[in-house]
Amino acid sequence: MLLKCLDDSGLTLLSSHPQSANAPQDALVWIPFDKVASFTQRINDFTQDTDGGDPKQAPLVANIEQIHRALLEHLWQESQDLPPLHEERWWELWFDPRITPIDPVITLRALADERQWRIRDRAIRVGERLYSAEMVSELQRLVDAFGARLGRSIAIDDTRLKLLAYNAHTGDVDDARIDSVMHRGASTALVAHVCEQGAAQASDVFTLPPCPQIGITMERIGMPIRYDDSLLGYVWLIGSDGPVGDRAVELLREAAAQAALVLHRGYLGVEVTRSHARELVRDLIAPDQALRTEAGAALVEEGHAVAGPVTVLVAMVAREEGEPLAEERRLALEFAVDRCRRRLPPSRGLALTRPDHALLLTIWPGARSQVIERNAAELAEVLREKLVAELGLGRAALCWVGVGGPRPRLTEAHSSYEEARRAAEVARITGTLGQVVAHAQLGVYALLGKLTPDELAEGIHPGLHSLLSNPVHRGLVETLRVYLDHTGDAQHAATALHVHRSTLYKRLHRVEQLTGLRLDVGDDRLAAHLGLKMAELNPRLPSSMKAPDVVL
């Protein structure tokens, strides 16, 4: 089967499976309604010959054995088996606005009423902002009504020129309008052009002049949509539909006023939904088991999340110990985590910003632990990059991302969160583990990180505590650390310290004198090594990793 012929025929190839020992090659194809007749004609033409004696449309039709209407099982692309169709369950539906100019939400609601389907008033994504399905539908009804009254095309954009609603075009359109309809957005150059013309400052009807370089060959007549002087978007008419008289201007103002009420009410509803979701995430990671169980059930029931395995990412930025996080750094955390969340399908990512960190809870339905760990690690790297970009400090940006282990259920996200937070905190304090650290990579720090600063201080051998507390002995501490990290191998430790082995022995003997520890005794050596690791995690104790110029 020549699949290219499908696209050349105006059909859209959705998927294809190659020929196997048990099944022929198949292709799942979308045929627009306006292409059905021409496609049928091509098949009928196959019964006729060309002047050369070959069947017409042979490249397209010759190898097609049968054609039948696609069912749900044909559309299923997941690795898991299709769930039993006799069971009642919720489904997510995604619409491509390029397929049809008709608002799919309105179409779906009409079909649901006819078939008696239950539909939740969920949120849908347009560009980078969430709008309730009800709000988008209401805007579409408003556009259709005013378009009929005006007898011309009308469109509504948000403040970033993301297309929210439009009606059929009665006249010619330019490339900028086509691009807006196809992609539900505007180019950076178009946004800049609108800003340069002062549209954001306008308080009444204004004209946007053509700019052929960016695809605008026809002027636009715009009206800002404002609620309490806050700009919410724009209503647009296009010049190709004819001159705009006084009546059209009044109707344009009326449309903007009604759109302002719809958008304001919609934004409030979305913000309330988001705020409630944040409260549920806060409860989901709380110490109280009953609270976590209730929050997990509510997140799924209200459509904020789906059931499945979870893993949590925690992001931190540099801060003064004991001081609250600066506002610009808190915002950088919030924006970076939110941008990362948008990379996930709806209901698969939940974000929350805390006083000194931010978390991203990710859900991976049907995925195995190894797959989750790999995906989470990749997402953590992306989060670090986004955070560095938001901080605007380049390589000098001090930020860390911790990754918790996967958990099988949403209600167990608390454990993954604690691991992710511990990993990020250990990476921040030690400064030696890198900027992206999984809890599984912490080693002994995973255990020590559970201790409070007081418990860490109490766990350090008294003699080692005295050594750590005296800045004069920083070099001895460094010598001891390198020696223990090399498992007591004097030769390798001396090489790492760039000293002679006899010098190393003198320093270690001095350590024994000052601490009372015997480094040839296993328990003492373990106490010394654990004590140094504890000191690294205790902000009140100098771990003294930098040695002085001279060590006596």
552 residues of the chain, pLDDT tens digit each: 444 455 455 566 666 666 777 777 777 777 776 677 777 777 777 677 777 767 776 666 666 777 777 777 777 765 567 777 777 666 666 555 444 444 555 566 666 666 677 665 544 444 444 456 677 888 989 999 999 999 999 999 988 788 888 888 777 888 888 877 776 667 778 888 888 888 988 999 999 999 999 889 999 999 999 988 888 899 999 998 999 999 999 999 999 999 999 888 777 666 666 778 888 999 999 989 999 999 999 998 888 888 999 999 999 998 776 677 787 788 888 888 888 887 887 788 999 988 889 999 999 988 888 989 999 999 999 999 888 888 876 655 688 999 999 999 999 999 999 999 999 988 888 877 889 999 998 888 878 877 777 777 778 888 888 888 888 888 888 888 888 888 888 888 888 888 898 888 888 888 888 888 888 888 888 888 888 888 887 766 654 443 344 444
For residues 407 and 416, is the Cβ–Cβ distance under 8 A?
yes
Q: What is the model's pLDDT at position 5? A: 53
Neighbours of 68 (CB within 10 A): 6
Q: What is the model's pLDDT at position 546? A: 39
Residue written as token pair 């009326």: 254
Q: What is the DSSP letter of 216?
A: B
Q: What is the model's pLDDT at position 376? A: 92
- The whole-angstrom distance between residue 67's C-alpha and the CA centroid of its chain comes to 39
Kindly give, in sequence order, each residue whose CB lies less than 8 Å from that of residue 152, ignoring residues fewer than 6 positions away: 170, 171, 237, 238, 241, 242, 248
Q: What is the model's pLDDT at position 3? A: 47
Whole-Å CA distances, 543 to 443, 464, 468, 483, 548: 18, 11, 7, 15, 14
The residue type of 358 is A
Residue of 178, 180, 207 whose CA lies nearest to 194: 207
Q: What is the model's pLDDT at position 545? A: 41
Kindly give, in sequence order, each residue whose CB lies less than 8 Å from that of residue 391, ignoring residues fewer than 6 positions away: 317, 329, 332, 397, 399
For residues 525 and 512, is the Cβ–Cβ distance under 8 A?
no
For residues 460 and 535, is the Cβ–Cβ distance under 8 A?
yes
How far is the C-alpha of 532 from the C-alpha of 526, rounded, in Å? Answer: 10
Neighbours of 332 (CB within 10 A): 25
Kindly give, in sequence order, each residue whose CB lies less than 8 Å from that of residue 353, ignoring residues fewer than 6 positions away: 330, 333, 334, 337
Beta-bridge mates of residue 407: 310
Q: What is the model's pLDDT at position 126? A: 44
Kindly give, in sequence order, each residue whose CB lies less than 8 Å from that of residue 240, ignoring residues fewer than 6 positions away: 171, 172, 173, 174, 218
Sheet holding 349-353, edge to edge: 349-353, 358-363, 310-317, 399-403, 436-438
Cα-Cα-Cα-Cα torsion 14, 20, 25, 27, nearest 10 degrees, comes to -10
Q: What is the model's pLDDT at position 132? A: 61
Neighbours of 112 (CB within 10 A): 12
CA angle 429, 432, 435 (to 5 degrees): 80
